[in-house]
Amino acid sequence: MLELILQILSSMNISKQCTHDKINPGLEQAYCPDCGKLIRNEWYITRCACCGVKMKAFVKNGEVVAQDHYCTNCGSEEYIVEKLDGINFIDINFAALLKREVEPEHICSTTRCWQEKRVEQPKLLVQYL
Ligand SMILES: [Zn+2]
Ligand SMILES: [Zn+2]
């Protein structure tokens, strides 16, 4: 019974929080067709903090973590998270894609700039008259 309630709760959470699955990972950023938010694709890898060997990364609860608990090269438990400027075919085997929502204020100010620019053009006003 308890398991059933937990299952329902977790399925509710999934439907509420958009995972932005339709965003193309090849793009730097795009608007999500499901929720309308501006999503930026950020690639991360994890490295062993001891020997620097790349460790496979994945996203857990919105955070980038290493998939292995210990480094396969030196056995260290510590790792560092490194942000990539872009993705390439070597790193893609290790990298985790974090779909970060761009702050709403940022979107608003960009929109306002656009509107002000339009009004400043006298030609447009003449056309409307
Ligand atoms: Zn979305
Ligand atoms: Zn190591």
Q: What is the pLDDT of residues 37-67, one digit of tens each?
A: 999 999 999 999 999 999 999 999 889 999 9
98 pLDDT above the threshold of 80: yes
Nearest-ligand number for the alpha carbon of 99: 1
Residue 5: pLDDT band with limits 50, 70, 90 = low
| Number of the ligand closest to the Cα of 79 | 2
Render the burial of 57-89: b for 16+ CB within 10 Å, e for the rest: bbeeeeebbbeeeebeeeeeeebebbeeeebee
Question: Closest ligand to 80 CA?
Answer: 2
Mean of pLDDT over the chain: 81
Nearest ligand to the C-alpha atom of residue 47? 2
Q: Please give the C-alpha separations between residue 88 and each of 29, 43, 79, in angstroms, as whole numbers.
A: 17, 10, 21
pTM exceeds 0.85: no
Residue 8: pLDDT band (50, 70, 90) is: low
* Confidence at residue 14, expressed as pLDDT on a 0 to 100 scale: 47
Cite the DSSP H helix spans in 1-129: 2-16, 104-120, 122-128
CA-to-CA distance for 44 and 106, rounded, in angstroms?
23
Q: How far is 52 from 79, CA to CA, in rounded Å?
A: 8
pLDDT of amino acid 103: 81
Cα 14 to averaged position of ligand 1 atoms, centre (Å): 12
Q: Is the pLDDT of residue 100 over 70?
A: yes
